[in-house]
Amino acid sequence: MSAPERQLPVHAPMNQFAVRQGELVVGGKRLSTLAEQVGQTPFYAYDRALLKARVAELRSALPAAVKLHYAMKANPMPAVVGLMTGLVDGIDVASAGELKVALDAGANPQEVSFAGPGKRDAELRQAVAAGVLVNLESFREVGALAAFSQALGLPARVAVRVNPDFELKGSGMKMSGGPKQFGVDAEQVPALLKEVAAAGLAFEGFHLYAGSQNLRSGSICEAQQKSYELALRLAQDAPMPVRFLNLGGGFGIPYFPGEQRLDLMPIGDNLAQLLQRAQTELPQAEFVIELGRYLVGEAGVYVTRVVDRKVSRGLVYLVADGGLHHHLAASGNFGQVVRKNYPVCIGTRADAPETEVASVVGPLCTPLDLLADRMKLAPAQVGDLVVVFQSGAYGASASPQAFLGHPACVEVLV
Ligand SMILES: *Cc1c(COP(=O)(O)O)cnc(C)c1O
Protein backbone atom coordinates (compact mmCIF):
# COMPACT_ATOMS: atom_id res chain seq x y z
CA MET A 1 0.00 0.00 0.00
CA SER A 2 1.31 3.43 -0.84
CA ALA A 3 1.46 6.10 1.83
CA PRO A 4 -1.50 8.47 1.73
CA GLU A 5 -0.65 11.71 -0.02
CA ARG A 6 -0.17 14.55 2.42
CA GLN A 7 -2.99 17.03 1.99
CA LEU A 8 -1.63 20.55 1.94
CA PRO A 9 -4.10 23.20 3.08
CA VAL A 10 -5.59 25.03 0.12
CA HIS A 11 -7.33 28.37 -0.33
CA ALA A 12 -11.11 28.47 -0.16
CA PRO A 13 -12.45 28.49 -3.73
CA MET A 14 -12.80 32.00 -5.16
CA ASN A 15 -15.86 31.04 -7.15
CA GLN A 16 -17.59 34.37 -6.62
CA PHE A 17 -16.05 35.37 -9.98
CA ALA A 18 -16.98 33.60 -13.20
CA VAL A 19 -14.51 32.65 -15.95
CA ARG A 20 -15.24 33.50 -19.59
CA GLN A 21 -13.02 32.80 -22.61
CA GLY A 22 -10.19 31.89 -20.30
CA GLU A 23 -10.38 35.07 -18.28
CA LEU A 24 -11.76 36.06 -14.93
CA VAL A 25 -14.96 38.13 -15.14
CA VAL A 26 -15.21 41.15 -12.85
CA GLY A 27 -18.15 43.53 -12.99
CA GLY A 28 -19.51 41.58 -15.93
CA LYS A 29 -16.39 42.12 -18.06
CA ARG A 30 -13.45 39.98 -19.02
CA LEU A 31 -10.42 41.11 -17.05
CA SER A 32 -8.39 42.28 -20.05
CA THR A 33 -11.34 44.39 -21.25
CA LEU A 34 -11.81 45.81 -17.77
CA ALA A 35 -8.11 46.74 -17.69
CA GLU A 36 -8.57 48.60 -21.00
CA GLN A 37 -11.59 50.41 -19.57
CA VAL A 38 -9.65 51.43 -16.46
CA GLY A 39 -6.80 52.58 -18.69
CA GLN A 40 -3.96 51.48 -16.46
CA THR A 41 -2.66 48.80 -14.18
CA PRO A 42 -2.47 48.35 -11.25
CA PHE A 43 -6.03 48.83 -10.14
CA TYR A 44 -8.58 47.67 -7.62
CA ALA A 45 -12.00 46.66 -8.90
CA TYR A 46 -15.03 46.19 -6.69
CA ASP A 47 -17.95 44.26 -8.09
CA ARG A 48 -21.34 45.90 -7.44
CA ALA A 49 -23.33 42.71 -7.97
CA LEU A 50 -21.21 40.88 -5.39
CA LEU A 51 -21.58 43.70 -2.86
CA LYS A 52 -25.34 43.58 -3.26
CA ALA A 53 -25.41 39.78 -3.07
CA ARG A 54 -23.40 39.81 0.15
CA VAL A 55 -25.76 42.19 1.90
CA ALA A 56 -28.75 40.16 0.68
CA GLU A 57 -27.16 36.96 1.99
CA LEU A 58 -26.61 38.52 5.41
CA ARG A 59 -30.14 39.88 5.55
CA SER A 60 -31.56 36.45 4.89
CA ALA A 61 -29.33 34.78 7.50
CA LEU A 62 -29.82 37.30 10.32
CA PRO A 63 -33.09 38.26 12.01
CA ALA A 64 -34.80 41.13 10.17
CA ALA A 65 -34.75 43.27 13.32
CA VAL A 66 -30.93 43.36 13.42
CA LYS A 67 -29.59 46.53 11.84
CA LEU A 68 -26.57 46.22 9.58
CA HIS A 69 -23.91 48.91 9.68
CA TYR A 70 -20.98 49.30 7.32
CA ALA A 71 -17.68 50.13 9.03
CA MET A 72 -16.30 52.19 6.19
CA LYS A 73 -12.66 52.07 7.20
CA ALA A 74 -12.60 48.70 5.42
CA ASN A 75 -13.13 50.48 2.11
CA PRO A 76 -13.71 54.24 2.11
CA MET A 77 -13.85 54.70 -1.67
CA PRO A 78 -16.66 57.27 -2.04
CA ALA A 79 -18.47 55.28 -4.74
CA VAL A 80 -18.40 52.16 -2.55
CA VAL A 81 -19.64 54.10 0.47
CA GLY A 82 -22.39 55.53 -1.74
CA LEU A 83 -23.49 52.08 -2.85
CA MET A 84 -23.29 50.63 0.66
CA THR A 85 -25.27 53.56 2.07
CA GLY A 86 -28.20 52.46 -0.05
CA LEU A 87 -27.86 48.82 1.00
CA VAL A 88 -27.23 48.86 4.76
CA ASP A 89 -28.94 50.61 7.68
CA GLY A 90 -26.08 52.79 8.87
CA ILE A 91 -22.46 53.77 8.44
CA ASP A 92 -19.76 53.63 11.11
CA VAL A 93 -17.03 56.20 10.76
CA ALA A 94 -13.74 56.50 12.59
CA SER A 95 -12.65 60.05 11.75
CA ALA A 96 -14.06 63.37 10.59
CA GLY A 97 -12.62 62.56 7.18
CA GLU A 98 -14.74 59.42 6.99
CA LEU A 99 -17.70 61.36 8.37
CA LYS A 100 -17.47 63.72 5.40
CA VAL A 101 -17.41 60.84 2.91
CA ALA A 102 -20.43 59.22 4.61
CA LEU A 103 -22.45 62.44 4.64
CA ASP A 104 -21.44 63.22 1.04
CA ALA A 105 -22.66 59.74 0.12
CA GLY A 106 -26.08 60.61 1.51
CA ALA A 107 -25.93 58.66 4.77
CA ASN A 108 -28.66 59.65 7.23
CA PRO A 109 -26.85 61.29 10.22
CA GLN A 110 -29.33 59.61 12.53
CA GLU A 111 -27.82 56.28 11.42
CA VAL A 112 -24.16 57.27 11.46
CA SER A 113 -21.97 56.46 14.44
CA PHE A 114 -18.49 57.72 15.14
CA ALA A 115 -16.02 55.57 17.09
CA GLY A 116 -12.28 55.70 17.63
CA PRO A 117 -9.74 56.71 20.25
CA GLY A 118 -8.33 60.24 20.31
CA LYS A 119 -11.21 62.09 18.69
CA ARG A 120 -9.97 65.65 18.37
CA ASP A 121 -12.06 68.60 19.57
CA ALA A 122 -12.66 69.70 15.99
CA GLU A 123 -13.95 66.22 15.13
CA LEU A 124 -16.28 66.12 18.14
CA ARG A 125 -17.69 69.55 17.19
CA GLN A 126 -18.29 68.34 13.65
CA ALA A 127 -20.05 65.25 14.97
CA VAL A 128 -22.37 67.32 17.18
CA ALA A 129 -23.11 69.71 14.33
CA ALA A 130 -23.83 66.81 11.98
CA GLY A 131 -26.11 65.13 14.53
CA VAL A 132 -24.38 61.75 14.44
CA LEU A 133 -24.02 59.32 17.34
CA VAL A 134 -20.65 59.53 19.09
CA ASN A 135 -19.32 56.39 20.73
CA LEU A 136 -17.64 57.74 23.85
CA GLU A 137 -14.19 56.31 24.44
CA SER A 138 -12.98 58.37 27.41
CA PHE A 139 -14.04 60.62 30.27
CA ARG A 140 -12.51 63.58 28.45
CA GLU A 141 -14.93 63.19 25.57
CA VAL A 142 -17.88 63.63 27.95
CA GLY A 143 -16.76 67.10 29.01
CA ALA A 144 -15.78 68.13 25.51
CA LEU A 145 -19.11 67.04 24.03
CA ALA A 146 -21.06 68.80 26.79
CA ALA A 147 -19.22 72.04 25.99
CA PHE A 148 -19.79 71.75 22.23
CA SER A 149 -23.42 70.80 22.71
CA GLN A 150 -23.92 73.94 24.77
CA ALA A 151 -21.94 76.16 22.40
CA LEU A 152 -23.83 74.92 19.34
CA GLY A 153 -27.23 74.68 20.99
CA LEU A 154 -27.55 71.11 19.74
CA PRO A 155 -27.89 67.81 21.59
CA ALA A 156 -24.83 65.57 21.70
CA ARG A 157 -25.99 62.04 20.91
CA VAL A 158 -23.80 59.48 22.65
CA ALA A 159 -23.32 55.78 23.22
CA VAL A 160 -20.67 54.34 25.48
CA ARG A 161 -18.06 52.18 23.87
CA VAL A 162 -17.23 49.55 26.43
CA ASN A 163 -13.91 47.75 26.69
CA PRO A 164 -15.34 44.41 27.82
CA ASP A 165 -13.70 42.18 30.38
CA PHE A 166 -13.53 39.38 27.80
CA GLU A 167 -12.04 38.93 24.35
CA LEU A 168 -13.27 37.50 21.06
CA LYS A 169 -11.50 34.14 20.88
CA GLY A 170 -9.66 33.29 17.70
CA SER A 171 -9.72 36.77 16.22
CA GLY A 172 -7.21 38.03 13.72
CA MET A 173 -7.13 41.23 15.73
CA LYS A 174 -8.15 41.46 19.37
CA MET A 175 -9.75 44.70 20.38
CA SER A 176 -11.01 44.01 23.88
CA GLY A 177 -10.15 42.29 27.14
CA GLY A 178 -7.25 43.51 29.22
CA PRO A 179 -5.87 47.03 28.83
CA LYS A 180 -6.91 48.64 25.54
CA GLN A 181 -6.94 52.11 24.03
CA PHE A 182 -10.47 51.45 22.77
CA GLY A 183 -13.55 52.30 24.78
CA VAL A 184 -13.93 52.62 28.52
CA ASP A 185 -13.19 49.63 30.76
CA ALA A 186 -16.44 47.92 31.76
CA GLU A 187 -15.72 48.50 35.46
CA GLN A 188 -15.39 52.27 34.86
CA VAL A 189 -18.60 52.56 32.87
CA PRO A 190 -20.95 53.18 35.85
CA ALA A 191 -18.86 56.22 36.82
CA LEU A 192 -18.80 57.41 33.21
CA LEU A 193 -22.58 57.07 32.97
CA LYS A 194 -22.96 59.34 36.02
CA GLU A 195 -20.93 62.00 34.21
CA VAL A 196 -22.95 61.51 31.03
CA ALA A 197 -26.14 62.08 33.02
CA ALA A 198 -24.73 65.11 34.86
CA ALA A 199 -23.53 66.64 31.58
CA GLY A 200 -26.98 66.24 30.05
CA LEU A 201 -25.79 64.29 27.03
CA ALA A 202 -28.36 62.37 25.03
CA PHE A 203 -27.50 58.79 26.02
CA GLU A 204 -28.64 56.20 23.49
CA GLY A 205 -26.84 52.96 24.35
CA PHE A 206 -23.73 50.84 24.23
CA HIS A 207 -21.15 49.80 21.70
CA LEU A 208 -19.15 46.64 22.30
CA TYR A 209 -16.53 45.62 19.80
CA ALA A 210 -14.54 42.55 20.74
CA GLY A 211 -12.41 41.84 17.68
CA SER A 212 -11.98 41.38 13.98
CA GLN A 213 -11.45 38.73 11.28
CA ASN A 214 -13.03 35.76 13.03
CA LEU A 215 -14.02 32.65 11.09
CA ARG A 216 -15.50 30.70 14.01
CA SER A 217 -19.20 31.25 14.43
CA GLY A 218 -19.05 29.69 17.92
CA SER A 219 -16.63 32.36 19.12
CA ILE A 220 -18.71 35.12 17.57
CA CYS A 221 -21.89 33.82 19.23
CA GLU A 222 -20.11 33.59 22.56
CA ALA A 223 -18.86 37.17 22.27
CA GLN A 224 -22.33 38.40 21.31
CA GLN A 225 -23.88 36.65 24.30
CA LYS A 226 -21.30 38.05 26.67
CA SER A 227 -21.70 41.50 25.13
CA TYR A 228 -25.43 41.33 25.63
CA GLU A 229 -25.05 40.23 29.27
CA LEU A 230 -22.58 43.01 29.93
CA ALA A 231 -24.81 45.63 28.33
CA LEU A 232 -27.73 44.37 30.40
CA ARG A 233 -25.71 44.80 33.59
CA LEU A 234 -24.43 48.25 32.60
CA ALA A 235 -27.92 49.38 31.62
CA GLN A 236 -28.82 49.43 35.32
CA ASP A 237 -26.65 52.53 35.70
CA ALA A 238 -27.78 54.20 32.47
CA PRO A 239 -29.54 57.58 32.74
CA MET A 240 -32.01 56.60 29.99
CA PRO A 241 -33.27 53.35 28.47
CA VAL A 242 -30.92 51.63 26.05
CA ARG A 243 -32.16 52.24 22.51
CA PHE A 244 -28.98 51.36 20.64
CA LEU A 245 -27.04 48.17 21.28
CA ASN A 246 -24.10 47.63 18.97
CA LEU A 247 -22.93 44.06 19.51
CA GLY A 248 -19.89 44.48 17.28
CA GLY A 249 -19.02 42.33 14.32
CA GLY A 250 -15.77 40.58 13.68
CA PHE A 251 -17.12 38.37 10.86
CA GLY A 252 -14.07 37.17 8.93
CA ILE A 253 -13.41 36.09 5.37
CA PRO A 254 -11.04 33.31 4.27
CA TYR A 255 -7.68 34.74 3.23
CA PHE A 256 -5.19 31.96 3.76
CA PRO A 257 -4.81 28.26 2.93
CA GLY A 258 -6.94 26.07 5.17
CA GLU A 259 -9.45 28.82 6.04
CA GLN A 260 -13.13 28.32 5.30
CA ARG A 261 -16.04 30.68 4.95
CA LEU A 262 -17.92 31.63 8.10
CA ASP A 263 -21.16 29.79 8.84
CA LEU A 264 -23.81 32.47 9.36
CA MET A 265 -26.64 30.18 10.47
CA PRO A 266 -25.59 29.76 14.13
CA ILE A 267 -25.00 33.52 14.37
CA GLY A 268 -28.50 34.23 13.08
CA ASP A 269 -30.01 31.75 15.55
CA ASN A 270 -28.03 33.21 18.43
CA LEU A 271 -29.09 36.77 17.60
CA ALA A 272 -32.72 35.65 17.36
CA GLN A 273 -32.47 34.25 20.89
CA LEU A 274 -30.90 37.44 22.22
CA LEU A 275 -33.58 39.54 20.53
CA GLN A 276 -36.19 37.38 22.22
CA ARG A 277 -34.66 38.09 25.62
CA ALA A 278 -34.32 41.78 24.85
CA GLN A 279 -38.07 42.07 24.32
CA THR A 280 -38.49 41.96 28.09
CA GLU A 281 -35.00 42.83 29.36
CA LEU A 282 -34.14 45.79 27.09
CA PRO A 283 -37.46 46.49 25.38
CA GLN A 284 -36.39 49.66 23.58
CA ALA A 285 -33.06 48.38 22.31
CA GLU A 286 -32.33 48.04 18.62
CA PHE A 287 -29.53 45.58 17.81
CA VAL A 288 -26.75 46.69 15.49
CA ILE A 289 -24.00 44.61 13.90
CA GLU A 290 -21.13 46.51 12.36
CA LEU A 291 -19.12 44.88 9.62
CA GLY A 292 -16.33 46.02 7.38
CA ARG A 293 -14.38 43.35 5.55
CA TYR A 294 -17.22 40.83 5.57
CA LEU A 295 -19.35 43.18 3.48
CA VAL A 296 -16.76 44.29 0.95
CA GLY A 297 -13.65 42.10 1.13
CA GLU A 298 -14.67 39.27 -1.15
CA ALA A 299 -16.13 41.58 -3.80
CA GLY A 300 -12.79 43.18 -4.62
CA VAL A 301 -9.72 42.22 -6.61
CA TYR A 302 -6.35 43.87 -7.01
CA VAL A 303 -5.06 43.60 -10.57
CA THR A 304 -1.44 44.07 -11.57
CA ARG A 305 0.38 43.37 -14.82
CA VAL A 306 3.45 41.18 -15.25
CA VAL A 307 6.25 43.44 -16.53
CA ASP A 308 9.09 40.96 -16.31
CA ARG A 309 9.62 37.26 -15.94
CA LYS A 310 12.91 35.94 -14.64
CA VAL A 311 14.35 32.80 -13.18
CA SER A 312 16.67 33.02 -10.21
CA ARG A 313 18.40 29.81 -9.21
CA GLY A 314 15.48 27.76 -10.39
CA LEU A 315 12.62 29.90 -9.02
CA VAL A 316 10.34 31.76 -11.44
CA TYR A 317 9.75 35.40 -10.55
CA LEU A 318 6.84 37.24 -12.07
CA VAL A 319 7.69 40.90 -11.56
CA ALA A 320 4.51 42.98 -11.52
CA ASP A 321 3.83 46.70 -11.78
CA GLY A 322 2.05 46.70 -8.41
CA GLY A 323 2.84 45.41 -4.96
CA LEU A 324 3.23 46.26 -1.31
CA HIS A 325 2.77 50.01 -1.84
CA HIS A 326 -0.81 49.42 -3.06
CA HIS A 327 -1.62 46.26 -1.16
CA LEU A 328 0.24 46.07 2.11
CA ALA A 329 -2.01 43.34 3.47
CA ALA A 330 -1.41 40.93 0.60
CA SER A 331 2.33 41.42 1.02
CA GLY A 332 1.93 40.12 4.56
CA ASN A 333 2.89 43.34 6.30
CA PHE A 334 -0.47 44.50 7.69
CA GLY A 335 -0.71 42.72 11.01
CA GLN A 336 0.22 39.19 9.99
CA VAL A 337 2.58 37.37 12.35
CA VAL A 338 3.62 34.72 9.83
CA ARG A 339 3.43 35.65 6.15
CA LYS A 340 0.92 33.59 4.17
CA ASN A 341 -0.28 33.95 0.62
CA TYR A 342 -3.56 35.60 -0.25
CA PRO A 343 -5.43 33.71 -2.98
CA VAL A 344 -3.84 34.75 -6.27
CA CYS A 345 -4.40 33.71 -9.88
CA ILE A 346 -3.32 34.65 -13.37
CA GLY A 347 -6.57 36.36 -14.34
CA THR A 348 -5.86 36.24 -18.07
CA ARG A 349 -5.27 32.47 -17.90
CA ALA A 350 -8.02 31.65 -15.47
CA ASP A 351 -8.81 28.20 -16.83
CA ALA A 352 -5.23 27.10 -17.54
CA PRO A 353 -3.89 24.41 -15.20
CA GLU A 354 -1.79 25.76 -12.34
CA THR A 355 1.39 23.88 -13.18
CA GLU A 356 4.17 26.33 -12.44
CA VAL A 357 5.55 27.33 -9.07
CA ALA A 358 6.27 31.06 -9.16
CA SER A 359 6.65 34.04 -6.88
CA VAL A 360 4.88 37.27 -7.74
CA VAL A 361 6.84 40.30 -6.62
CA GLY A 362 6.35 44.03 -7.05
CA PRO A 363 8.70 46.75 -8.29
CA LEU A 364 9.91 47.95 -4.89
CA CYS A 365 13.51 47.53 -3.79
CA THR A 366 12.67 45.45 -0.75
CA PRO A 367 12.18 41.71 -0.31
CA LEU A 368 8.98 42.55 1.58
CA ASP A 369 7.35 43.40 -1.75
CA LEU A 370 5.90 39.97 -2.29
CA LEU A 371 2.35 39.24 -3.51
CA ALA A 372 2.73 35.47 -3.88
CA ASP A 373 5.46 33.35 -2.40
CA ARG A 374 6.16 30.16 -4.39
CA MET A 375 2.56 29.53 -5.40
CA LYS A 376 1.26 27.13 -8.00
CA LEU A 377 0.00 29.32 -10.82
CA ALA A 378 -0.83 29.06 -14.49
CA PRO A 379 2.42 29.70 -16.41
CA ALA A 380 2.40 33.46 -17.08
CA GLN A 381 4.22 35.77 -19.47
CA VAL A 382 4.94 39.47 -19.62
CA GLY A 383 1.60 41.26 -20.18
CA ASP A 384 -0.52 38.81 -18.22
CA LEU A 385 -2.70 40.14 -15.43
CA VAL A 386 -2.22 38.86 -11.91
CA VAL A 387 -5.26 38.93 -9.64
CA VAL A 388 -5.14 39.10 -5.86
CA PHE A 389 -8.52 38.01 -4.50
CA GLN A 390 -10.12 39.05 -1.18
CA SER A 391 -8.91 42.59 -1.81
CA GLY A 392 -12.05 44.65 -1.31
CA ALA A 393 -11.12 45.61 2.25
CA TYR A 394 -7.99 47.17 3.76
CA GLY A 395 -6.41 47.61 0.35
CA ALA A 396 -5.66 50.96 -1.24
CA SER A 397 -6.43 53.11 1.78
CA ALA A 398 -4.41 50.86 4.08
CA SER A 399 -1.23 50.89 1.99
CA PRO A 400 1.79 53.23 1.83
CA GLN A 401 1.25 54.45 -1.73
CA ALA A 402 3.97 57.10 -1.58
CA PHE A 403 6.64 54.57 -0.67
CA LEU A 404 9.24 54.54 -3.47
CA GLY A 405 7.47 57.00 -5.74
CA HIS A 406 5.68 54.63 -8.09
CA PRO A 407 2.34 55.71 -9.61
CA ALA A 408 -0.77 55.45 -7.46
CA CYS A 409 -3.30 52.74 -8.15
CA VAL A 410 -6.81 53.41 -9.43
CA GLU A 411 -10.00 52.12 -7.84
CA VAL A 412 -13.15 51.31 -9.80
CA LEU A 413 -16.60 50.17 -8.78
CA VAL A 414 -17.97 48.03 -11.59
C1 LIG B 1 -12.25 48.14 12.23
C2 LIG B 1 -13.53 48.13 12.91
C3 LIG B 1 -14.63 47.49 12.34
C4 LIG B 1 -14.54 46.70 11.06
O5 LIG B 1 -13.78 45.56 11.21
P6 LIG B 1 -13.83 44.43 10.09
O7 LIG B 1 -12.87 43.41 10.53
O8 LIG B 1 -13.44 45.08 8.82
O9 LIG B 1 -15.23 43.93 10.04
C10 LIG B 1 -15.84 47.57 12.99
N11 LIG B 1 -15.95 48.25 14.13
C12 LIG B 1 -14.92 48.87 14.72
C13 LIG B 1 -15.12 49.59 15.99
C14 LIG B 1 -13.68 48.83 14.14
O15 LIG B 1 -12.65 49.44 14.73
SS3 at position 104: helix
- For the chain, percent of residues with pLDDT exceeding 70: 97
Residues β-bridged to residue 357: 376
pLDDT of res. 3: 56
**pLDDT tens track for 116-139:** 999 999 999 999 999 999 999 999
For a pLDDT cut of 90, what percent of the chain falls above it? 93
Q: Provide the residue type at 25 as one letter.
A: V
The whole-angstrom separation of Cα 196 and Cα 158 is 9
Half-sphere exposure (Cβ direction) of 359: Cα atoms closer than 13 Å: 18
395 lines ligand 1 (CB under 6 A): no
pLDDT of residue 168: 74
CA of 250 to the centre of ligand 1 (A): 7
User: Over the stretch 39-58, which tens digit does the pLDDT of each residue have?
Assistant: 999 999 999 999 999 999 99
Q: How far is the CA of 212 from the centre of ligand 1 (A)?
A: 6
The model's confidence at residue 178, banded by pLDDT at 50, 70 and 90, is confident
CATH fold for the domain made of 76-291: TIM Barrel (3.20.20)
What number is the average pLDDT over the span 250-275?
97
Mean pLDDT of 389-399: 98
Mean pLDDT of 306-333: 98
- Type of residue numbered 375: M
Rounded to whole angstroms, how far apart are CA atoms 376 and 57? 32
- Evaluate: CB of 212 within 6 angstroms of ligand 1: yes
C-alpha 296/C-alpha 229 separation (Å) is 30
Which sequence spans correspond to the domains of the chain? 19-46+299-413, 76-291
Q: What is the pLDDT of residues 134-147, one digit of tens each?
A: 999 999 999 999 99
Residue in 149, 244, 248 with CA at minimum distance from that of residue 196? 149
Does any ligand 1 atom lie closer than 6 A to the CB of residue 290?
Answer: yes
Helices (H) and strands (E) in the chain, counts: 11, 22
In terms of Cα–Cα distance, which of 303, 329, 302 is closest to 394? 329
**CA 295 to ligand 1: nearest atom:** 9
Query: What is the residue with the minimal CA distance to atom 15 of ligand 1?
Result: 116
Higher pLDDT, 174 or 294: 294
Confidence of residue 310 (pLDDT cuts 50, 70, 90): very high
Topology of domain 19-46+299-413 in CATH is Lyase, Ornithine Decarboxylase; Chain A, domain 1 (2.40.37)
How many alpha carbons lie under 13 Å from residue 225 in its C-beta half-sphere?
Answer: 12
**94-110 burial string, b = 16+ CB within 10 Å, else e?**
bbbebbebbbebebebe
Residue 255 near ligand 1, beta carbon < 6 Å: no
Q: Which helix (H) or strand (E) holds 136?
A: strand 133-136
